[in-house]
Structure 1
Amino acid sequence: MTVQLYARDVGTGTPLVLLHAFPLSSAMWLAQREGLAGRFRVVTPDLRGFGGSLLGDDEPSIDAMADDVARVFRRLGVQRAVVGGLSMGGYVAMALCRRHPDLVRGLVLADTRAGADTDEVRATRLRQAETLEGEDSVRVLVEEVLPHLVGPTTFRQRALIYGRVRGLVQATPPRAAAWAQRAMAARGDAFETLRGLKVPALVMVGAEDVLATEEEARVMVDALPNAELQVIPRAGHLCAVEQPDLFNQAVAEFTTALARTGE
């Protein structure tokens, strides 16, 4: 079944397609739409099953999610874009680079990893997927995933942001979350894709991220032919939500430089 993703499309200029984290939706990009749409065309799809997008009946697969995003490009008439992905969105962005490289003008990878899951992480994902479906509730995500999504600084000092993230997790459809966990558990290693990337990349990581660490970000930078690293202070796994001004500034500088060189 072909799934048509719901996507918000605001602003004009160089297209910037941002792919959201698990288990959130494109609502997480609010500060990016507000802060970047004055300079760029910002497109934020809801990945399948999340937000306003249907789940469909395909086998769980990050590649299927990447193909969904490629169809958004075609539907909106976007020839090429700077593609940014945070966490799960980064997995989808890397799959897009492998399957549809002609669409990618530059790559932003935030709080994500190029390696496949360890056996332990994979087992946890599959157990959570079973629980999500069995209970038809996101309780397991609120208890086990939410505590690691933001850093201690946000938890202590940014109650509104933490509350917003909690609300987005609670709004996640359990079946979509289960599907996505199975898709992430089944994904392979993306280092070959990174080594073959023909466009510039920006790798970003929250200094307090425990899910996708600074060390893992540096390994990705080393694999990429043309990449820079930006460590976002006082941010955990959702650096774009926790420190939106710093995130937006880095993405704006990267995208503006790409547009200037005509990459």
Structure 2
Amino acid sequence: MAVDLHVYETGTGVPLVLIHAFPVHAGMWDGVRDRLGEVCRVLTPDLRGFGRSPLGDDEPSLDRYADDVAALLDRRDIDQAVIGGVSMGGYVTMAFLRRYPDRVRGIVLVDTKAGADPEAARANRERIAATVLAERTPRVLLDDVLPGLLGETTRQTRPEVVERVRALVAEARPEAVAFAQRAMAPRPDSFDALRGADVPALVLVGEEDQLSPPEEAEAMAKALPNARLVTIPGAGHLSPLETPEEFTRAVVAFMSGI
């Protein structure tokens, strides 16, 4: 059953739904939301269990996240929207594309990848899920997840961004973390869905992203029939937080053409 997602909304025009990364919430969009709202209607939900959204009682699945987004659109009387997200938000975007292709007006994939997890990655997700539930603290996230979220340039020259991301990560509730990890682990390969998505698409990647490196973005852009690929210098896995001006410029240009 879909849950009623908490959402931050601004602007008018073509709807753009932006879905946050793991393990943060929709606060990651605070530095770009208002500027994007000058050219479109921006909706940035907290996925279930994160931020101010309830977790619900469903079994972990990316499809449940996608259904929540569809229910959000229904409540806003939105038939079609540009759907996008960062990292896990990209996985949710691709799940939404598989389940609701007729509701997708465009796609924005940021610092994410379309392939399925190898077995070692699945096992690591289960380790993190079990650890955070057992310890009831964000320690495993801060120790094992946080270091890979930011690029070297950010870690060396943007201490305020490092502290902001650390604070966002520390807010994640254990149950939401476990749900997310167990939802992402069995996700299918999404390249066929991308090949069938004949809608405008923007693929963004931080040049220093080690978790979803530029070659993953290139593969997605190649699979999509109508994609533009933008590589952002000086950014890692969370380019909207690390380089908000460059990220916003690329998305504004994309949305202005829809």
Check whether TM > 0.5. yes
Partners in 1 of 2:30 and 2:104 — Cα distance? 23
Say which is worse superposed, 172-181 or 77-86, in terms of deviation. 77-86
Aligned to 1:172, what secondary structure does the other structure show? Answer: coil
Say which is worse superposed, 2-11 or 167-176, in terms of deviation. 2-11
Partners in 2 of 1:181 and 1:213 — Cα distance? 20
Q: Deviations over 1:188-220 (max 9, x none)?
A: 111110011020111110000000010111111
The 5-angstrom pairing of residues 139-150 of structure 1 reads: 139-150=139-150
Deviation at residue 2 of structure 1 after TM alignment: 3.1
Could you tell me whether the CA contact under 8 Å between 2:2 and 2:67 is conserved in 1? no
Partners in 1 of 2:115 and 2:67 — Cα distance? 21
Deviation at residue 76 of structure 1 after TM alignment: 1.2
> Match of 1:52?
52
Could you tell me whether the CA contact under 8 Å between 1:83 and 1:108 is conserved in 2? yes
TM-score, normalised relative to structure 1 = 0.96
The letter of the residue matching 2:201 is: A
Partners in 2 of 1:134 and 1:204 — Cα distance? 36
Partners in 1 of 2:142 and 2:148 — Cα distance? 10
5+ residue gaps in structure 2? Answer: none
Aligned to 2:172, what secondary structure does the other structure show? Answer: coil
The letter of the residue matching 1:82 is: V
Aligned to 2:257, what secondary structure does the other structure show? Answer: helix
The letter of the residue matching 2:204 is: M
Question: Does the alignment pair 1:195 with 2:198?
Answer: no
Deviation at residue 138 of structure 1 after TM alignment: 1.3
Number of aligned positions between the proteins = 258
Question: Does the alignment pair 1:165 with 2:157?
Answer: no
5+ residue gaps in structure 1? Answer: 259-263
Aligned-CA RMSD value: 0.8
> Match of 1:102?
102
The 5-angstrom pairing of residues 111-130 of structure 1 reads: 111-130=111-130
Could you tell me whether the CA contact under 8 Å between 1:136 and 1:175 is conserved in 2? no
Question: Does the alignment pair 1:79 with 2:87?
Answer: no
> Match of 1:184?
184
Partners in 1 of 2:158 and 2:138 — Cα distance? 23
Partners in 2 of 1:33 and 1:224 — Cα distance? 26
Could you tell me whether the CA contact under 8 Å between 2:15 and 2:81 is conserved in 1? yes
Partners in 1 of 2:33 and 2:217 — Cα distance? 25
Deviation at residue 15 of structure 1 after TM alignment: 1.1
Partners in 1 of 2:5 and 2:102 — Cα distance? 20
TM-score, normalised relative to structure 2 = 0.98
> Match of 2:215?
215
| Residue identity (%) | 54
Aligned to 1:114, what secondary structure does the other structure show? Answer: coil
Question: Does the alignment pair 1:37 with 2:37?
Answer: yes
Aligned to 1:51, what secondary structure does the other structure show? Answer: coil
Aligned to 1:245, what secondary structure does the other structure show? Answer: helix
Deviation at residue 66 of structure 1 after TM alignment: 0.4
The letter of the residue matching 1:25 is: H
Say which is worse superposed, 205-214 or 191-200, in terms of deviation. 191-200
The letter of the residue matching 1:8 is: Y
Deviation at residue 95 of structure 1 after TM alignment: 0.7
Q: Deviations over 1:199-253 (max 9, x none)?
A: 0111110000000010111111111111111000000000111111111111111
